[in-house]
Structures are given as C-alpha cells and as structure tokens.
C-alpha cells in the first residue's frame, strides 16, 4: 500500500527564497557597471546573481562553481541568463561600489518588517538587540591587495589579512540571527597604516543608522566596547547599549560597585532554576548611576552583574558584567542578563556557522586588484541572511533542515538535486528534498 505524501507547509509569499532572490535582483540591477555596455556578454546583475548562487549552493571555490555553471537548474532557480567564467566574474566584480550590497541587507530586512517577523525579535520596549563583533576571513603571506591589512608574525614575516565587523539582530529566545550590515576593516585610500576595528565599527554604526533610521536598538558588545568615545558615538546615533565590562579594564567602576554594596545600594536578585537534570543557582546585581571610569566622571552608566555558582563547591562558576544606559528595575534583571549573554550568538550562530558549517567563509574565492575580496564576502553574507530568513520563515526549508540534521548534509543534498534535476522554484526543490522524490525534470543530455 502506497502511503500518501505528507502535506507541505504553506509558504510565506514574500519571504520564500524565490521572492527574496527577486528582491536581490532588483537591488543588483542598480549596481553601476563601469564597462562599456555595447557588446557586454555578462550583465552586472547576472554576474552578481551568479556569485550569490555560488554561495547559496555552498560551492567550495569559483572553479568548482564554473564546472557546474552549465546546469540548467542554476539558471532557472536564480533567473540568470548567462553565467561568467571564474576569471570573468573576478574581473567584473572587482572594484564595484559595495554600498549597494549593504543596501541589499536593508531590502531583505524591510521584507521581514512587511511580514511582521520582527515582532519575534523585539526585546524590550520595541527595542532590538544588535550584536556587533569583528572576525577575520583571509590570511596569506603571499596574496594581497591594496585593502589588505598587514601584520608581523613573531618571526618577523608579513602576513596579509582581511577582517570585517558585522552587526546582526539577536534575541535570547531565537536561534536565528538577522544580519543588518557588514563593514570591512581595510587599509583606507591614501593611508599607510592599518585600519582598526574601532574605526570600522564607527563606519558600521553610521551605515546602520542611515539604512535603518527608525529602528530602536540596544547594542550588545564585548568589554572592548565599553569606552567613552564609543559610548559617545552610540549616544549621537540614538542607540542604547549593553556593553561588557571586566574588572581588569574598569577598576574604578568596580570600586564604585563595592562602595555601593557597603552603602546597601545594590539591587540583588537570587534565583534557583532547574535546567534539565541540573539546578542553576545564580545571583544578579544592579547598581545605577556610576562613573564609567575615573577620567570620565560625567559619563554615568548603570551596572549589571551576574554570578552562577557551582552546586558542589558553592564557588562562582561563571561571572558576567555589563554597563548600560537603560534604567532597570528588579523585574528586568534576568531579562537583561539573558540579553547581554545573547551576544555570543554572533560568534556561534554567525561566524562559527560561516566558518565551520559548509559556507567556506575563510576560503579565498578571489582577491583581485581592488575590493574583490570584500565584494565576495558581502555576497556570502547575503546568502547566509537568506538562509537565516528561510530558517525562520519558510516551513519547507525548516523541515528540510530538520530532515538532514547537519547543514553540511543539507548543502550536499542540495547540490546533488540541482545537479540531477531542473526545478522551476526553490519551493519545488525543497519539496523534492523533503519527500525524497524527484519532482524536478531531468536536465537535457548532450
């Protein structure tokens, strides 16, 4: 007896992969092309979509993608008329204005707003948590370009590196992250010295406020960010903050906390929470209106500190502390502790996923003579963003992901289906992968 096929979940019209690719196509059509248009074989929009397709399919290199670029399913799924060779793709994309690619993140974000998805990411009083952190994605002792940073090894050799600062929406209850913008840390035009993460973060923050002028944000970062100049930038851009603060870096701040304890001014919340087979004993402390440091007495911050204790020894097993400009009461202490700890999602759910779960983030797809490395990095992040939106909003994709468990297994099966069959849409492709049937059409031979 043949079992009936399982019913397929209903798709969200504007947030499925096919609709999001159409959104990207419209943005890519606005990217200026400096080439002579007469006789141009590969339009800019097709070239950008082809690179995006490569990252969507998680091909390990430009050459690997070129070897399968004749597969009809790729052109159908991504709406590409002509796919350039790896050499042509590098030449066309090297030097383009990357601001248009960051605008593509905003285009997808606005579709999430349109679909009311962002309600699930609202953290406190219609504010969203924005995690910001930097990462490296290229390192070589030989290959380099004008944008490469330089660093010396302990042996005195020069290494050429590429790094970037990313900003993603996070939430303690959401595994999905939503990238908002990425800023490269690069050697600036006319400069002989390296750029630094702080400068790149300032550019990133200004870009975010330009792209998302009305969104209310609470920025969460590590302890390096809790300094007066950075907090001044956040204040100017009307962004709130929840920034890590370590005793070794903020001795004056922690001395004030001790004094507040002596004066009985610390709000304390003690909890015992069952987590699985364990019991977590914790204590959260809050003190308002402290000076950030001795040289910035006028910069007043609120202080939040959280301890977890070992059940056997009673010793502190974990300790976290933050400064914030948000006024908290007792009912918000646990919530903001979870918000501060959700910063790690930019490490685990973003950078770790890109580097270790099939995206090949640290592979050199192309370096070029201008900004090719940055262009390709942004396109990979866009592919990652579309995957994250699918995970959050597309029941078909979520079901396929659940079926194959690991992302690597999912990408391998995805490439196999695209190789052997032609699909008219991603919805049709996800259905075939979910049901295990060949719903697509075999490609023509010869």
Residue 7: per-residue pLDDT = 46
What is the 8-class DSSP label of residue 37? S
pLDDT band at 439 (very low <50, low <70, confident <90, very high): low
Residue 193: per-residue pLDDT = 52
pLDDT at residue 105 above 90?
A: yes
Of these ranges, 65-74, 106-115, 180-189, the one predicted with the greatest mean pLDDT is 106-115
CB count within 10 Å of CB 111 equals 18
Give the C-alpha separation, 347 to 366, whole Å: 25
Residue 266: per-residue pLDDT = 97
- Which H or E element spans position 386? helix 372-393
Give the C-alpha separation, 285 to 330, whole Å: 9
Residue 444: per-residue pLDDT = 53
pTM reported for the whole predicted model: 0.92
pLDDT tens digits for 335-391?
999 999 999 999 999 999 999 999 999 999 998 999 999 999 999 999 999 999 999
Among 24-33, 163-172, 400-409, 432-441, the range scoring the smallest mean pLDDT is 432-441
Q: Read off the pLDDT of each residue in 310-319 and give the average, rounded to a whole number.
A: 88
Q: Is 219 left (phi over 0), alpha (psi -120 to 50) or beta?
A: beta
* Distance (Å) of CA 5 to CA 68, 162, 404, 434, 442: 31, 48, 18, 10, 21
pLDDT tens digits for 199-257?
999 999 999 999 999 999 999 999 999 999 999 999 999 999 999 999 999 999 999 99
- Which H or E element spans position 137? strand 127-140
pLDDT at residue 4 above 90?
A: no
Place of tokens 């699930």: 120
In 3D, which of 44, 49, 179 has the Cα closest to residue 102?
Answer: 179
Give the C-alpha separation, 28 to 32, whole Å: 9
Which sequence spans correspond to the domains of the chain? 7-115+372-445, 248-325
pLDDT band at 5 (very low <50, low <70, confident <90, very high): very low
* List of E strands, 205-332: 217-221, 240-244, 267-275, 278-291, 300-309, 316-324
Q: Read off the pLDDT of each residue in 190-201 and give the average, rounded to a whole number.
A: 71
**Angle at which helices 395-404 and 372-393 cross, to 10°:** 100
CB count within 10 Å of CB 36 equals 7
Quote the mean pLDDT of the chain: 91
pLDDT tens digits for 389-402?
999 999 999 999 99
pLDDT tens digits for 125-160?
999 999 999 999 999 999 988 888 888 888 889 999
Place of tokens 């610390």: 266
Give the C-alpha separation, 50 to 69, whole Å: 9
């Amino acid at each position: 007896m043949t079992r009936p096929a399982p019913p397929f979940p209903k798709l969200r019209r504007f947030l499925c992969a096919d609709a999001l690719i159409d959104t990207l196509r419209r943005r890519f059509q606005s990217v200026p092309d400096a080439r002579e248009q007469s006789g141009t074989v590969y339009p800019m929009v097709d070239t950008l979509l082809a690179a995006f397709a490569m990252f969507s399919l998680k091909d390990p290199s430009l050459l690997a993608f070129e070897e399968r670029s004749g597969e009809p399913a790729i052109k159908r799924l991504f709406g590409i008329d002509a796919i350039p060779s790896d050499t042509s793709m590098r030449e066309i994309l090297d030097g383009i204005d990357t601001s248009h690619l960051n605008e593509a993140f905003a285009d997808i974000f606005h579709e999430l707003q349109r679909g009311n998805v962002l309600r699930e990411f609202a953290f406190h009083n219609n504010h969203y948590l924005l995690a910001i952190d930097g990462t490296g994605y290229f390192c070589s002792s030989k290959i380099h370009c004008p944008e490469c940073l330089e660093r010396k090894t302990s042996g005195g050799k020069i290494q050429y590196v590429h790094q970037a600062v990313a900003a993603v929406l996070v939430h303690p209850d959401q595994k999905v992250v939503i990238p908002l913008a990425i800023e490269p840390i690069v050697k600036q035009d006319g400069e002989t010295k390296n750029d630094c993460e702080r400068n790149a973060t300032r550019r990133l923050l200004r870009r975010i406020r330009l792209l998302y002028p009305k969104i209310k944000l609470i920025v969460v970062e590590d302890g390096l960010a809790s300094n007066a100049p950075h907090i001044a930038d956040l204040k100017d851009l009307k962004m709130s903050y929840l920034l890590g603060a370590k005793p070794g870096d903020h001795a004056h701040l922690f001395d004030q906390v001790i004094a507040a304890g002596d004066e009985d001014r610390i709000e304390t919340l003690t909890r015992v929470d069952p987590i699985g087979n364990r019991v977590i004993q914790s204590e959260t402390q809050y003190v308002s209106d402290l000076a950030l440091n001795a040289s910035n007495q006028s910069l007043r911050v609120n202080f939040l500190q959280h301890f977890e204790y070992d059940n056997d020894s009673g010793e502190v097993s974990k300790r976290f502390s933050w400064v914030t400009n948000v006024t908290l009461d007792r009912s918000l202490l646990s919530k903001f502790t979870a918000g501060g700890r959700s910063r790690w999602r930019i490490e685990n759910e973003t950078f770790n996923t890109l580097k270790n779960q099939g995206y090949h983030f640290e592979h050199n797809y192309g370096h070029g003579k201008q900004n090719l490395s940055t262009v390709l990095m942004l396109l990979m992040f866009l592919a990652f963003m579309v995957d994250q939106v699918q995970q959050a909003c597309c029941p078909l994709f979520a079901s396929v992901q659940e079926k194959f468990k690991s992302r690597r297994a999912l990408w391998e099966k995805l490439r196999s289906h695209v190789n052997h069959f032609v699909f008219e849409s991603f919805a049709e492709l996800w259905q075939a992968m979910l049901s295990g049937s060949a719903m697509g059409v075999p490609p023509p031979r010869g």
